[in-house]
Structure 1
């Protein structure tokens, strides 16, 4: 292998490494954004679940005067 062949191969490998490094950084940023979004959705889900529990509790503790008259 000649010196110019070795230099061309090194340049090709460095170019590939550079592209792989950029792709890895892009994927890493995408994964971080997805985890951030998942965290937000989990918090919203928890809040909605708590709201549903409170609503259910409220509906089950209706005052006695809300009972329909016996003729219904």
Structure 2
């Protein structure tokens, strides 16, 4: 009976450690997601500013003379 108890305690300890490691991974991934979302917002803002720069949109461009 004592052997079984030690085995269960060992498994629980291992699982606790694994859960903590997985939690750390999830936290890092969420930080990366947050950072990427901020970059996407900045990129979108940059594109909005660039669209007012006088450049023609691809659908408004005149085809080159060889067409």
Q: Deviating runs (4+, > 2 A) in structure 1?
A: none
Residue of structure 1 equivalent to 2:49 = 54
Specify which structure has the bigger relative contact order, considering alpha-carbon pairs within 8 angstroms and separated by 6 or more residues: 2
Q: Which residue does 1:35 correspond to in 2?
A: 30
Which ranges of structure 1 fall in alignment gaps of 5 or more residues? 1-5, 61-72
Q: State how many pairs are aligned.
A: 55
Query: How much has 1:14 moved relative to structure 2?
Result: 0.2
What's the Cα RMSD here?
A: 0.9
TM-score w.r.t. structure 2 length?
0.78
TM-score by length of 1: 0.73
Instruction: In structure 2, list runs of 5 or more residues that go unmatched.
Output: 56-67
User: As a proportion of its length, which structure holds more helix?
Assistant: 1
